[in-house]
Amino acid sequence: MAKGKKTTIRQIKLLSEDIIQINEKEYVIIEGTEDIETAITMKISSNGNRILRFTDEKKKATIDVKRDIDVFKYSFTDTHRASRFKKTQDKSIITANDKIELIENTSSHINARAIISKYTSKDSKLFDKQASKSNFYVSVESK
């Protein structure tokens, strides 16, 4: 679907609190609204999210395509390789001595960034003091 193109919603079903099915395709709700199942059209915004429009023109909701994204923690034993990974994100630098840990799986890039922020933001309770030094948090979309 091209940017700006409107799609008429033929079938809409709320599957869970943050997952909605529209025209037999699953989406993640980013910004919800009351009675989200009453949407009549869907339009792609400039950043690639989908905007749902309702009969009440003031009302709208934002959704994104449901994805399968893993958030990994890479822990390096060698500071030289860690600094190279920080610059290039080249996974061939990782050796058997380094540790790769799956932190969490999520369904949208916004959620993945929020998870990474929990470990890299200094005001977070889960802040990792070695973040961006020897530990790196990376999101990878599964195909």
* Cα–Cα dist 76/73, whole Å: 10
Which burial class, exposed, middle or buried, applies to 90 when counting CB atoms under 10 A from its CB (0-12, 13-18, 19+)?
exposed
Domain boundary among 65, 86, 111: 65
Instruction: Dig out the tokens for 37 from the structure.
Output: 């199942």
* Cα–Cα dist 142/2, whole Å: 23
Amino acid occupying residue 33 = T
Q: What is the mean pLDDT of residues 78-82?
A: 91
Say whether both 96 and 50 belong to one domain: no
**pLDDT for residue 57:** 86
Instruction: Dig out the tokens for 58 from the structure.
Output: 């003031």
Say whether both 75 and 119 belong to one domain: yes
Residue at 1 is within a domain: no
DSSP letter (8 states) at residue 65: E
Say whether both 58 and 107 belong to one domain: no
Domain boundary among 33, 65, 97: 65
**pLDDT for residue 1:** 54
Say whether both 58 and 74 belong to one domain: no
* Cα–Cα dist 109/97, whole Å: 29
Residue at 76 is within a domain: yes
Q: Say if CB 38 and CB 81 are below 8 A apart.
A: no
At 23-75, the pLDDT tens digits run 999 999 988 888 899 999 999 888 778 999 999 888 999 998 888 999 999 99
Q: Is the pLDDT of residue 93 over 60?
A: yes
Residue at 130 is within a domain: yes
Amino acid occupying residue 38 = T
Report the chain's mean pLDDT, rounded to a whole number: 90
Say whether both 120 and 94 belong to one domain: yes
At 95-134, the pLDDT tens digits run 999 999 999 999 888 889 999 999 999 999 999 999 989 9
**Domain assignment of residue 20, given as a range:** 6-65
